[in-house]
Structure 1
């Protein structure tokens, strides 16, 4: 490993040496980046600022590319993916803003390690080429020549960085950047050869057998499909046949992307994902897929998707993603989301890039799970990776035409508390009857809370032993046995900003003894059963 790292540094140093060959002043091949842009963000960019999460930041217009932005903001800014926003705005001012910022980078790029990260560099090169016609085609020859020098230079560095360690879908972004560099400078055959060499391996480690990405995230699935779709467009512009694996993987990932949406056409909120607009998702699928197919099961991806009547139930039924694919993962093992028609009822809380919010939103308490003794089923390190996770997660699904049953369990609380949590879920009555049973077994009773986070569009009223949910003109009733129920204030960020809402919290009571195990140790069992049902008109 030490030798490999030293060799990679030597390759990068060699790639950074000045080129003797004269650079042409325009790319040989171009393509159009078809990613959806945000017009509102484009207007902010023209005004010299941008918004990430819930904060506004200033652009480096005339002060160079140095700045004290947070790392995740730098990754977004240095990637130039925001050229999509300026292109979507499409005004003359947007074109000049894009050209000015690219020219400033070409003249004086920041001396920042984040700017040299493979995925960031790949997104930057692909963005420059994908929006070249929009913002650079009418620039001066000197500006275009300088930009081409940077494309050639950064393409060499990117080629030297490969292969990358596992980076989730961002590994595809690095490869797409290398393909973009080849399009601009096709005489650099090494760019294309490196792409061909590492693309199959990236596909093998990123995309699971059922088409789910290893990140196990709807948002990561979206980004993966977008990267593959853009690669197809690039091969079309090159008038070359794509690698056989590329259309095959695109055909595998699109049905999964469609399957990860509720009835409103937006994402289920798991593992760093928010709802995202249905229009964005559908626009990508329209570009990327040949047939409207939906994945019926995700055994390797670990999500259970149950559709019955007009209702939909999503369950996170396996371990969190492996290291390298877990930077956005949440401690939401066995969490679920439930919707009826286009109306979300029970939801996880969402995700955001704000450092002060990330830890709380990644914790188990921000999901529809049982939280034992106020700890999470997984822990996270300072680098964002998971440091502790459940060792065993079980899921058994049985069904008839009228109903579904799920038997689930995980041991994420066992190391700290010596307990195992089991959850049984039932969906029946044409999707209008959702029942659950949550059981904690261990050597002693533990304190726990079962949390049911409610979507902001639902009106909540507590009446005696019931909680009444008013959902788009319909009435749903929640009740439980075995715990102490309360309704608490809550926050939901799944639509990109904090929204006040409510959650149902069912706290534990004392359990009972159960039969001794093989070693003669008597165990304790605590059990809560609950029901959500639609009240007939």
Structure 2
């Protein structure tokens, strides 16, 4: 039985907790063996910085402020390896040295000196294999940043510190060579293998790891990158992260034709048009399934480094339908929820839309509550947290709890839409998509279809949401549920229009229209065929901020009567 087969058999046999202990034990053994490996002594060539951060986040780190389960932990200036390590997510980010990109971006002598101190403190405290920072993906992330920022790290250090730095890199390279296969498929495995490739490229005495790592990376590209350039988690931010890793590898090996892997190049060629299809006018990514907007400059740099000029994939990518005209861009989630890859991050966002006018956001989702409390994380995954439609206040998907009997591999299975239909159309007036899902059939016997059209001028977006019972069995189910709720063949449903915090909204015309004013003064009018609109306070999560931002949502309410209900709405930009 191969190691890959063992990894899949073992948790099914004895459960997730035992699998974690087993993997941790295997990691520990690999760490002990890695300590006997010959240490690296120098770089084969001078590394160049290839990772970029945000100075605002760097200032937060330097001040000792960390977001842990929705609360700001103030450890004190100059303290990094403290109380924040008690939280697994925070610990992974700290041990992965994500923060060093941000601290370096502050670009002061004091910030650079502090980054050095924290790195050598990590070697002293954790370099021998202690702590929770030795998962393969975290280790891969860490060594890439250590090598990228080598010029800063080794600036005016003592000889013993330099020796400790190279010894720690050699130790981690040996560990990655033994344990990269245990990383979860997808982004974690790409991170582990990229770290191994960088060790082979940069360090003297590590040439033997390079070709095997590149071959393994090519196999992962074949297995994980779809023909449309998408990934199984359907997370646009993760797609960019993988693309950035592969682009950095390809650029680093391009000077030596012996190392170029055609599978990596082909994967980049598939991914670039998909990434462009999922970007808005300001260069940010659509925020679906746990992904954040990303850094536009970093995305631009990765695309430029890859040297792939292919335009945006026509009609969208990775299960997201794209409509664009006159500077207006609408993206709709038009595929099944990701039940593989990263189901614990999947959101109940089928048929949800995000919309930009030029470089400014209009309709958004609540975003990823990663790093906040469990309650906020669950709320952000609900259908009502998106610009989508809910029936009787419920979500179109149900997420299994931690004690659920079908929970496997530590990830959550999803009771989600099984059948999704998508049609596209265009004519002399504009372009449109029609999509439907059966997520509400098990609970209510109801199907939801949504048609979105964008006029060629980009000045108007038209929406048609229809909720209906399709078959005799569905109608019977609907009648039963309506009777249980004390209704006679009638159930409410709501269309949610979530607004970006930078947009200002006012209700007009007897609450039948909403005026949405963007930062540049541009106004969009939301109307729903005379139906009354209501305004609600809500939250907007943005990664890198220590707290959520307050914002508004407009809600249109109607009812399913005699097996059918319709909401027709328009968003228009007056001339």
Flag whether TM exceeds 0.5 (same fold). yes
Spell out the pairing of 1:271-350 with structure 2 (5 A cutoff). Answer: 271-291=289-309, 293-298=311-316, 301-350=318-367
**Residue number in structure 1 paired with 2:557:** 507
Alignment check: 8 A CA contact 1:60 1:66 kept: no
2:516 maps to which of 469, 476, 479:
469
Alignment check: 8 A CA contact 1:41 1:51 kept: no
State the 1:430 CA deviation.
Answer: 1.8
SS in 1 for 2:144: helix
1:376 maps to which of 395, 408, 421:
395
1:488 aligns with 2:536: yes
Spell out the pairing of 1:353-392 with structure 2 (5 A cutoff). Answer: 353-356=370-373, 357-381=376-400, 382=402, 385-392=412-419
State the 1:316 CA deviation.
Answer: 0.8
Write out per-residue CA displacement over residues 156-204 of structure 1, whole angstroms, 9 at most, x where no aligned residue.
2222223245443232111111112223545345522441342123112
Find the aligned partners of 2:505 and 2:57 in 1 and give their Cα distance. Answer: 34
SS in 1 for 2:199: helix
State the 1:406 CA deviation.
Answer: 1.7
Alignment check: 8 A CA contact 2:135 2:183 kept: no
SS in 1 for 2:432: strand
Inter-CA distance 341–47: structure 2 relative to 1 (3 Å threshold): closer
What's the TM-score once normalised by structure 1's chain length?
0.87
Alignment check: 8 A CA contact 2:67 2:372 kept: no
SS in 1 for 2:210: helix
1:31 aligns with 2:47: yes
Find the aligned partners of 2:506 and 2:557 in 1 and give their Cα distance. Answer: 19
Inter-CA distance 88–502: structure 2 relative to 1 (3 Å threshold): closer
Write out per-residue CA displacement over residues 414-434 of structure 1, whole angstroms, 9 at most, x where no aligned residue.
222222211122222622222
2:425 maps to which of 398, 402, 420:
398
Alignment check: 8 A CA contact 2:463 2:569 kept: yes
State the 1:372 CA deviation.
Answer: 1.7
State the 1:96 CA deviation.
Answer: 2.5
SS in 2 for 1:272: coil
Find the aligned partners of 2:206 and 2:169 in 1 and give their Cα distance. Answer: 11
SS in 1 for 2:105: helix
Find the aligned partners of 2:275 and 2:122 in 1 and give their Cα distance. Answer: 35
1:458 maps to which of 479, 499, 503:
503
1:42 maps to which of 36, 55, 58:
58
Find the aligned partners of 2:49 and 2:305 in 1 and give their Cα distance. Answer: 12
Alignment check: 8 A CA contact 1:328 1:384 kept: no
Alignment check: 8 A CA contact 2:383 2:394 kept: yes
Alignment check: 8 A CA contact 1:75 1:115 kept: yes
State the 1:306 CA deviation.
Answer: 0.9
Inter-CA distance 481–112: structure 2 relative to 1 (3 Å threshold): farther
**Residue number in structure 2 paired with 1:435:** 462
State the 1:46 CA deviation.
Answer: 4.0
State the 1:456 CA deviation.
Answer: 2.7
Find the aligned partners of 2:501 and 2:36 in 1 and give their Cα distance. Answer: 61
SS in 2 for 1:106: helix
User: Structure 1 stretch 154-163 or stretch 46-55: which is displaced more?
Assistant: 46-55
1:129 aligns with 2:147: yes
Alignment check: 8 A CA contact 2:448 2:467 kept: yes
Unmatched tracts of structure 2, length 5 or more:
11-18, 403-409, 470-474, 479-489
Find the aligned partners of 2:465 and 2:284 in 1 and give their Cα distance. Answer: 28
Find the aligned partners of 1:76 and 1:59 in 2 and give their Cα distance. Answer: 18
State the 1:447 CA deviation.
Answer: 3.0
Inter-CA distance 187–275: structure 2 relative to 1 (3 Å threshold): closer
Inter-CA distance 302–87: structure 2 relative to 1 (3 Å threshold): same
State the 1:325 CA deviation.
Answer: 3.1
**Residue number in structure 1 paired with 2:406:** none
SS in 2 for 1:108: helix
State the 1:59 CA deviation.
Answer: 7.6
Alignment check: 8 A CA contact 2:136 2:183 kept: no
2:281 maps to which of 258, 263, 266:
263
Inter-CA distance 204–212: structure 2 relative to 1 (3 Å threshold): same
State the 1:102 CA deviation.
Answer: 2.0
1:180 aligns with 2:231: no
Higher share of residues assigned helix = 2
User: Structure 1 stretch 494-503 or stretch 457-466: which is displaced more?
Assistant: 494-503
Superposition RMSD in Å: 3.1
Inter-CA distance 234–51: structure 2 relative to 1 (3 Å threshold): farther
Alignment check: 8 A CA contact 2:42 2:204 kept: no
State the 1:26 CA deviation.
Answer: 2.6
SS in 1 for 2:143: helix
Equivalent residue pairs, number: 524
Alignment check: 8 A CA contact 1:79 1:120 kept: yes
State the 1:354 CA deviation.
Answer: 3.0
Inter-CA distance 123–238: structure 2 relative to 1 (3 Å threshold): farther
User: Structure 1 stretch 98-107 or stretch 234-243: which is displaced more?
Assistant: 234-243
SS in 1 for 2:270: helix
**Residue number in structure 2 paired with 1:528:** 567
SS in 2 for 1:509: strand
State the 1:458 CA deviation.
Answer: 2.8
Alignment check: 8 A CA contact 1:183 1:238 kept: no
What's the TM-score once normalised by structure 2's chain length?
0.82
Write out per-residue CA displacement over residues 232-270 of structure 1, whole angstroms, 9 at most, x where no aligned residue.
243257785321222332233223222222223322222
Unmatched tracts of structure 1, length 5 or more:
513-523
User: Structure 1 stretch 332-341 or stretch 421-430: which is displaced more?
Assistant: 421-430
